[in-house]
Structures are given as C-alpha cells and as structure tokens.
Amino acid sequence: MDFNTDHFSLFELPTRFRLDSTLLDQRYLEMQSRVHPDRFSRAGDAERRLSLQWATRVNEAYQTLKKPLSRARYLLHLSEHDVGSENNVLMPADFLIEQMEWREAVAEARAAGEHHELEHLHHRLQHDIAQRYDELAALIDESHDLEQAADRVRRLMFIEKLLVELDEAMIACEE
Amino acid sequence: MALLQIAEPGESTAPHEHRLAVGIDLGTTNSLVATVRSGLAVVLRDQLGRPLLPSVVRYCADGSSEVGYEAQAQQALDPRNTIGSVKRFMGRGIADIANREAMPYVFQDAPGMLRLQTVAGVKSPVEVSADILRALRLRAEAALGGPLVGAVITVPAYFDEAQRQATKDAAKLAGLPVLRLLNEPTAAAIAYGLDNAAEGVYAVYDLGGGTFDISILRLSRGIFEVLATGGDSALGGDDFDHRIFCWIIEAADLKPLSVEDASMLLARAREAKEYLTVHGAAPISARLSSGERVELQLTTAIFAEISQTLVAKTIQPVKKALRDAALSVSDIKGVVMVGGATRMAQVQRAVGEFFRQDPLNNLDPDKVVAIGAATQANLLAGNRAAGDDWLLLDVIPLSLGLETMGGLVEKIIPRNSTIPTARAQEFTTFRDGQTALAIHVVQGERELVSDCRSLARFELRGIPPMVAGSARIRVAFQVDADGLLAVSAREQGSGVEASIVVKPSYGLSDDEIAGMLKDSMAHVKDDAQRRALKESQVDAQRLLEAVRAALAADSELLAAEELARVEKDIVKLESAALADNRRQIMLAMDDLEASTKDFAARRMDKSIRRAFAGRNINELDVDSTASTTGETA
C-alpha cells in the first residue's frame, strides 16, 4: 500500500462521486483498527511514528470522502480542475441575487425569532441542496463534464455556507 | 474476524507479566480508582471498603493534609482550609469562577490560574488535585502490590487545553505516569458498550458535580467512534446545590451569612438534593451561629421549578452535538446516563422527553467512568489479550486556530475532528520586507481572539525580505492520539522553519512544576538520577519486548543480514540495560531503533495489506458486491 496513493485507492473504492457510504465507513474502521496509535502503545518509536502518520492519513482521506462537497472538490482536484478558494470566485449575477435573498430571509427570521420560518427555510434549502448534488453526480459520473461540475461545486460552496448560517440562526433562536 | 486476530501489531506474542495500570475518575465531588484484574474491571476500595474518595483536601497549620472522608468531616468546621470541588478551579482564573462569593475560600489571583490561601500556605488547584491523585495512587499500589506503570485519568470532554494540562501537571506532581487523558463520557461508553455488546449510535449524557458533557458515539464491531461532543465545563450538581441554597435564604428570609453558616447551609442543601432522589419531599433543618433556626420543606415540585433553567442549559449542547454529528433524535439508539447528578428526577425526565426514550441507568453512574478508564489503561499498558479487540476513535472537543489580522480567528482544525489529525494552511506577509511572522495559536469557537483561549505563541524569523503578499508561509497543525498539538511554520521559498509543541501559556510553568516536585520529593528523599536510570531501563525493556514480538510475528520480512544486525543490537541493549549506565542504554536504544526502522515500515505495510485481504475473505462469504472490489489488494 502506497502512503501517497489517492483517497479512493486507499479505501479501494471506485474514483467517482456516487459512493457507497456504508462501505466507506466499514473500510475506514478496518483501516483505522490496523494503524491506530493505540494499537502501538508499547511499540518502538519508529512504529509509533508510522502509526501516527498512517492514522492521520486515513482520517484525512475519510473526512474528505465522507462529505459530498469535499469529495467533489477532491475529485476535481485529482483531474486538475481546482475550483479555487471560497473568497475568489466570480459568480453569475442571478445566482448572487438569489443567494442574497436567501440570506435576507434567514436574517429576518432570526431577528424576529421565528423558529418555524427558519425550520421551513432549512427544509427548503436541504431539498435544494439534495437536487444540486444529484445534478453534480450526473455531471461528474455520467457526462464527465468537469467544467460544468466545477461551476456547480462553486455554487454549492456558497449554499453549504448558507446552511451553516441557517443552523446557527436556529440555535440562536432556541437559546 | 478470527483470521485477523492472529498476531495483532503491537500485541506481544510472548507471554509477559501483567503490567499494573489503573483508571482514575478525578471527579468534582468524588474520585475513584479502578483496575483490570483477571480480565475484569473493578473499583479499588479503601481499607474500610469504601469505593469513593470524596474530592476534598484539608490543609492543617502544621503543613500536613487530610484527603477524602476525613477532610470532608471537617468541612463545616474549617471551611477556609478544606478545599472541595477543586476541579472547577483547574486551569481557571478568578474571573472564570461563578458563585465564588458563596465559597468560603480565600482566592488569590495569579497569572493563568487562581490560587487558594490556606493555613498551610498558598495552594494551586494543581497541588490540591495532586493530593487527591496521590491518595488514589497509594490506595492502588497497596491493593495491587507494586508501582504502577501508568494511569488513564478522565477529564470532562469539554475541558479545554488549560484544564487538561493542569490535570496532567497534577498527575506528574502525584508521581503518576499518565497513559492518556480520556474523556469521561467516552470512558462511560466503553464500559457500557463492552458490558452490553452494544451496536449503533448512542448518546452519553454526563452530568457530574461540576461539569456537563454530552457525547454522541457510534459503536460498531468493537470500535468506539466519537462522532461529536459538547458540553459546559462549568455546570453540574454543585449548581443545583447552589439553587437550593439560594432558595433556603429566600424562603427563610435570612440576613447575610457568616462563612461557617453558608458552608453549613450548602451542606444541608446538598443533603436535601440527595434525599429528594428517593423521596417526594426533604425536610431542611438547621441552626445558625446566631441561634436562629431554619425549618423548611423542599418538595420535588419546588426543586424542579428552581432548577428548571439549569436542566434546560444541558439540552442546548445536546442539540448542538447532534447537529455536529449530522444526526437527529431518531438516530439515537440509547442514552447512557453518567454522573451522580443524573439521579435527579427532573434531569431523567428532561432527557427522556428530549430523546423520546427512557434513559439507560443500568450501570452505576458513579463507577462507570472509572471502569471505562481502567479498561483503556489496561489496553494502553499492553495487557491486551486475544479477543480484547476494541479500539477508540476520539475527537478534539474545541476548534484549534490561529490569530489573523484584526484579532480574528482562522480555524485550522474544526471541533469534533477525529484524532490523530493534521491540517495545513498557507499564510502570507502583509508588509513589504517583513522578515518575521508572529504565530498565535488559540482554541475555541468564537470569531474574536479575545473570546478564545490562548494556547501558545511563537515566531517564524528569517523570512527573506519580499513584497507584501508574496511570501508563502505554510502553518501545519498536528494533533496526536493523546490530543497533544504541535504547530510548525515554514516559508516555502526559503525553507526557514519554526515549530512548537503546545503547552498552554497560562497554566503552571515547568519551573513551578519542578519546584513543587522538589518540595514534594523533599519528604521522600528521592534521587533524580536513580529515577532517570530506572526510567531508561524500563524504556529499554519496553523496546526489547516490542522488537522481540515483532520478530516473532514477522521476521521473514527481514533479509538475513538485516536480521543479524537487529539481533546483534538486541544483545547489545540487553546487556546495556543490566548495567547502571544511562547513557549507554540510550545509545543502545538508538541503535536498535535505527536497525528496526525499515522493519517497522514493512510490518505496517503488511498489516494494511492484511486488512484488505481479511476484508475480501469476509465479503466472499457474505457480500455479493465482492466482485466490484479487491482488484488491487
């Protein structure tokens, strides 16, 4: 097993967006139960160092593949379609306006303490996100249109951030 | 799975002695010590057969101290010098302590951590905790008949670095080698999970004397995976006592109290709380020093009402932890209740309502943490037996980050990341010709540095002068399986580097610890050199044992000449370990480490390959998807 192999090969999973998450979980736990430092608590320094490196590596790979957004970004990165960082992407105006409307709706509901409205927005947004990931999966796994996929990923980066804001608003509302 | 269990890595195949290791629950109100004997985790009792040690230390004018029940008995008579609930002060400054006006202690401010004035001098919370740990160590050594190789000490999951470091310092002061600091709810989950062969997602609701933790864990085939953890490190049973105390003052319309009266009423409040766990109402009867009598009746209904906000305060972190784990209430298979304070009826009710199921109370909430810690200690000490095939994957409770421009925090490792973990991020210079960069490591969830805990500061110097924004400085964080953080910074163009292993800057300094150690050693007349020699001999034995076990399992991975070299180095270390020369032992250890370095790497490769081989066998047996995998195993 090559330490520098890509995350998919590490878990012997096909390099694609759609992923069997149960299988990923299972392989992650199998790997970790082999390499984790607690398995080497009485071993020599060299073995312990290696174990730390491997366990760190396995955790990183798992975290990257587990969440759909980071998995998509990683897939694009592997095929040299880096999407850039959150802060320096240019997005079409209609998308940005839509985003601003969402944010205003969240801020208003939060200020008014309308928990039900926040829950409603949350539900809508999750539905929207699920659809976008379906579209993204088709672009990556079937039509192999990575340019388009990178564009969709950039949009999802905005929207996932919005979801975090919405989560925080809901917590703030309950407190 | 049986195929996978032949010669686990790190498991000694040679028969060896049982190493004495203990688990310690260093609680706010009570502490316990447990160990694994003949495969069974048991709490060690004192000479009178009592499992608990009240976490109370009394300092006397002659410099001596009393710990436990003895000290507790004097608490009302000598409140100033009898320190209880010291855990609340660990790694904390005066400003952090709520309700301190109701406490009888004379606090003293000190950089980083408060101090307590007693007749025996000024005491740091670390020293008080060390006295408790020392009493537990002596109890364990007496029961087990020898010195301990180490202890797993539990801490609230929500403890930050300062509180964890203070706990480690206390152990060091008490002469206890720390195998690991283990989060209390995780320890409870281990005890519960192994006892019940549980599978699925569980929540552990841990309300102790002074801290509250919630952890969400996934239990799957002997692996305990912490998915999220949260809590409040300043909320516990003590706060419920304080609510009753305030209610007594209000209901009896009392004037400002003397320290002794306050202490006595607080004790009555605690008794009433405990009484209410089995009765519908508790009589409260007290006579103040003025002669005034207090006669009241506290009902469960009143108690529930006055403590309502405290109970609600525990539910918020539960919701947050569920969100962090991306789970909902319906995903939770069981809720394990831990900590004496979960005996309160209103707590049981609130938890049951929130999770829409009856909480699990089949383990003694006082002992379950120590039992779990003992189990982990046994494993880390290398006493793992075949079949003891379980593993813990833990997380960091709080985000780790760096200070950036304008006093803002850039999070590098988010909370609830599984450890060990590493993350790197690139930064740049903001002034032309800037040759140094100050790096400030912080911990916490807030956006402003001033709202987070400062962990460490260091500087990267010698950056070649460049235009602002063109230097590429990569700052890397590594957290190991013990939760220990190391930070390094490197300018990519020039290769200049700086790094630090994080020890919180506001705890006790190494000098202070050394000073306290010297003080505590003065009584026992210990020879530092002898200790160091003894330690290196123990290290040598550990290394020899590890290498012998590795050879027994995998010697075919070595070429004949490599094997010969390793064997030569083994003999050299064996003879060095018998002599009394520490330097020679260290040199021989270095040699053996060097000659087995490649061997270790090959063994790791083999082990990983075997993980796949084992899996493919399993899948052929039970899983029809086997055809899609295993091409490159």
B419 Cα to chain A: minimum distance (Å): 7
pTM for the full predicted model: 0.80
- Which residue of A4, A9, A16, A33 is the best one to mutate when testing the B interface, meaning the one whose CB has the most B CBs within 10 A? A33
Beta bridge partners of B22: B35, B151
Q: Which fold has domain B400-501?
A: Substrate Binding Domain Of DNAk; Chain A, domain 1 (2.60.34)
Q: Which CATH superfamily is domain A7-66 in?
A: DnaJ domain (1.10.287.110)
Task: Answer whether residue B527 shows pLDDT above 70.
Answer: no
Sign, CA dihedral B364-B370-B373-B379, equals negative
Sheet strands (E) in B126-269: 150-155, 178-183, 200-207, 212-220, 223-232
Nearest residue of A to residue B480 by CA position?
A52
Rounded to an integer, the average pLDDT of B70-75 is: 92
Chain A CB contacts of B421 under 8 Å are 56, 59-60
Q: What percent of chain A has pLDDT over 90?
A: 60
Q: Where are the domains of chain B?
A: 7-235+317-393, 237-309, 400-501, 527-633
Q: Do B601 and A50 touch (CB under 8 A)?
A: yes
How far, in Å, CA of B291 to CA of B560, rounded? 89
Chain B residue numbers touching A56 (CB-CB < 8 A) = 420-422, 478
Instruction: Name the residue of chain A whose CA is nearest to B313's CA.
Output: A175
Selected residues 171-190 of chain B with any CB under 8 Å from a CB in chain A? 179
For B585-603, what is the mean pLDDT? 89
Q: CA torsion sign, A130 to A131 to A134 to A135?
A: negative
Residue in A with minimal Cα distance to B149: A42
Place B456 in a pLDDT band, splitting at 50, 70 and 90.
Answer: confident
Least confident of B75-79, B249-253, B492-496, B497-501: B497-501
Tens of pLDDT, residue by residue over A53-101, are 999 999 999 999 999 999 999 999 998 887 776 555 678 888 889 988 9
- The residue with greater pLDDT, A44 or B303, is B303
Residue B378 is predicted with a pLDDT of 93
The Cα–Cα gap between B583 and B586 comes to 5
Q: Is the peptide bond before B420 cis (omega within 30 degrees of 0)?
A: yes
Per-residue pLDDT band for A42 (boundaries 50, 70, 90) equals confident
Question: Looking at residue B101, what is its pLDDT?
Answer: 79
Q: Quote the pLDDT of residue B507.
A: 53
Please give, rounded to a whole number of angstroms, the shortest distance from the CA of A16 to a CA of chain B.
Answer: 13
B483 neighbors B452 (Cβ within 8 angstroms): no
Q: B586 versus B308: which is more confidently predicted? A: B308
pLDDT for residue B17 is more than 70: no
- DSSP alpha helices (H): ranges in A79-145? 93-111, 115-137
Q: Which CATH number applies to B527-633?
A: 1.20.1270.10
Per-residue pLDDT band for B518 (boundaries 50, 70, 90) equals: low
pLDDT at site B514: 63
CA–CA gap between residue B65 and residue B86 (Å, rounded): 15
- Distance CA(B389)–CA(B28), nearest Å, equals 32
pLDDT of B512: 66
**C-alpha dist (Å) from residue B126 to A165, B53, B59, B177, B453:** 40, 17, 14, 15, 19
- Quote the minimal CA–CA distance from A124 to chain B in Å: 17
pLDDT at B219 over 70: yes
pLDDT tens-digit map of B248-295:
999 999 888 888 888 899 999 999 999 998 899 999 999 998 889 999
Determine the average pLDDT of the residues in B231-241.
Answer: 91
- Per-residue model confidence (pLDDT) at position B250: 94
CB-CB under 8 Å, A46 with B596: yes
pLDDT number for residue B430: 82
**Contact B593/A45, CB-based, under 8 Å?**
yes
Q: Are A2 and A17 in contact (CB under 8 A)?
A: no
Q: Residue B524, class by beta-carbon neighbours within 10 Å (0-12 exposed, 13-18 middle, 19+ buried)?
A: exposed
Q: Which CATH number fits domain B7-235+317-393: 3.30.70.120, 3.10.20.70, 3.90.950.10, 3.30.420.40?
A: 3.30.420.40
Residue % of chain B over a pLDDT of 90: 50
Phi, psi of B475 (to 5 degrees): -105, 120
Chain B segment 379-418 residues within 8 A of A by beta carbon are 379-382, 389, 391-393, 417-418
CA-nearest residue to A57 within chain B is B421
Burial of residue B632 (CB within 10 Å: 0-12, 13-18, 19+) is exposed
Contacts of A67 in chain B (CB under 8 A): none
Residue B509 is predicted with a pLDDT of 61
Residue B5 has pLDDT above 60, yes or no: no
Q: Tell me the CATH architecture of domain A88-174.
A: Up-down Bundle (1.20)
Q: At the topology level of CATH, where does B237-309 sit?
A: Actin; Chain A, domain 4 (3.90.640)
A94 at interface of B, judged by CB pairs closer than 8 A: no
Q: What is the dihedral of CA A25, B607, B373, B187, to 10 degrees?
A: 0
Total residues belonging to chain A? 175
Average pLDDT over residues B541-565: 89
For the record, the structure tokens of B54 come out as 């009240």
Q: Look up B25 and say whether it is catalytic.
A: yes
Residue B505 pLDDT more than 70? Answer: no
Which of B66, B78, B87, B127 is catalytic? The answer is: B87
For position B614, what pLDDT does the model report?
Answer: 53
pLDDT at residue number B620:
36
Q: Which two tokens stand for residue B360?
A: 């699990």
Neighboring chain B residues of A166 at a CB cutoff of 8 Å: none
SS3 B404: strand
* pLDDT of B628 higher than 50: no
DSSP codes of every residue in B579-614: SS-HHHHHHHHHHHHHHTHHHHHHHHHHHHHHHHHH
Q: Give kind and range of the element (H or E) at residue B320.
A: helix B308-324
Q: How far apart (Å, rounded) are the C-alpha atoms in residues A14 and B375?
A: 38
CB-closest option in A32, A42, A175 to B382: A42
B87 an active-site residue? yes
Cα gap A58→A116, rounded to integer Å: 40
B601 vs A46: CB contact, 8 Å cut-off? Answer: yes
* Selected residue of B604, B615, B632 to mutate for chain A interface (largest A Cβ count, 10 A): B604
Q: How far apart are CA B133 and CA B171, in angstroms?
A: 7
Residue B618: pLDDT band with limits 50, 70, 90: very low
Question: Which residues in chain B have their CB less than 8 angstroms from residue A52's CB?
Answer: 420, 480-481
Question: Confidence band (pLDDT; 50, 70, 90) for B604?
Answer: confident
Q: Which residues of B touch A31 (CB under 8 A)?
A: 608, 611
Query: Could you read off the pLDDT of B282-339 as tens digits, one per residue?
Result: 999 999 988 899 999 999 999 999 999 999 999 999 998 998 898 999 999 999 999 8
Window 13-52 of A: residues touching B by CB (8 A cutoff) are 13-14, 20, 23, 25, 27, 29-47, 50-52
Strands B200-207 and B334-338: parallel
Q: Do B85 and B55 touch, CB atoms closer than 8 A?
A: yes
- Rounded alpha-carbon distances, angstroms, from residue B41 to B35, B177, B559: 5, 20, 43
How does B392-409 read in b/e, with b if 16+ C-beta sit within 10 Å?
bbbbbbbbbbbbeeeeeb
Domain boundaries, chain A: 7-66, 88-174
